[in-house]
Amino acid sequence: MTTDTQKIKVAVCGACGRMGQEVIKAVNNQKDMELVAAIDISNAGKDIGEITENKACGVVIEDSLKDALLKSRADVIVDFTSPDIIFNNAKIALECGVSPVIGTTGLSDGQVKELEKLSKEKNISALIAPNFTTGAVLMMMFAQTAAKYFDNAEIIELHHNKKKDAPSGTAIKTAQMMAKNKSNFASGNVPEIELIKGARGGVSESDIHIHSVRMPGYMASQEVMFGSLGQVLTIRHDSVDRSCYMPGVVMAIRYVTSNNEFVYGLENIL
């Protein structure tokens, strides 16, 4: 049983962002967790509670991740910041002995491998999930299963137009999972000529073409299309509200505090 004195100490980086604010509300709603630090390059010096819930909570926003982690003695740092800084943030967390739970997308395969190595060297658990939504993770798992039965597949991912990286981490991860079951998903395609560069999307593992749509109105959606002679199967998931990510984030925080592992993908802890 977790008692008050054993609460999981959680720090949030990117605290003032869309996802960071949701994480803070979710952490505050857990009896076994305590928000101990909020880090963001904007609003430093302000009380984070005034931003998330219009009520001061005593946690002041800091702009130095390292200082905040050392001072707060956090157990876990949840990061939803930006693709250009996430690798460095994750390294700082591991160097400080704090388990990172990473939602920020944009890490390359090589960077994930490097973080896995560092996590093992330091004996600090870490979890990276390109998608924390249980429904989206199931969509990826179903796509991996369907991949065994179809020779052709393409992915269309649709996001709001404030998303910086493309394709989405979810699309990349889906392609990687499907590629475990087949080495070529462009079976029978003729040699192609793109009249407009990029018309056929980006080519990922096993020749899976990924198409990224960015426009207001969408939050995060993905379709995985499978084709074979005479039939098309579409597996689709839509996130309509950011609260959909929180059960997965809370599960990940608990997981890294009770298991000493490096985990890539929420499907591995469901």
Given 25, 46, 66, 163, which residue is catalytic? 163
Binding piece for ligand NAD, criterion CB under 6 A, among 68-76, 127-135, 148-156, 194-202: 127-135
Q: Is 159 a catalytic residue?
A: yes
Q: Could you list the beta-strand ranges (E) of the chain.
A: 8-13, 33-39, 61-62, 76-79, 99-102, 126-128, 152-159, 202-203, 209-214, 220-228, 231-239, 262-264
Q: Is 113 a catalytic residue?
A: no
Map the footprint of ligand NAD across residues 135-194, applying CB under 6 A. Answer: 163
Q: How many residues form the binding site for ligand NAD (CB under 6 A)?
A: 26
From the list 95, 87, 88, the residue with the least C-alpha distance to 119 is: 95
Window 100-119: contact mask with ligand NAD (x via CB under 6 A):
---xxxx-------------
Given 159, 173, 182, 209, which residue is catalytic? 159
Contact flag: residue 18 with ligand NAD (CB under 6 A): yes
Amino acid sitting at position 179: A
Question: What is the sign, positive or negative, of the torsion defined by CA atoms of 204, 210, 216, 222?
Answer: negative
Q: Which of 19, 24, 59, 115 binds ligand NAD (CB under 6 A)?
A: 19
Task: Write the CB contacts of 162 (distance below 8 Å, at least 6 apart in sequence).
Answer: none
Give dist(CA 72, CA 202) in Å, integer: 42
Instruction: Collapse the DSSP code of 222 into the 3-class scheme (helix H, G, I; strand E, B; otherwise coil) and give the result.
Output: strand
Window 210-239: contact mask with ligand NAD (x via CB under 6 A):
------------------------------
Length of the chain: 270
Catalytic residues: 159, 163
Q: Which residues bind ligand NAD (CB under 6 A)?
A: 13-14, 16-20, 39-42, 80-83, 85, 103-106, 129-132, 163, 245
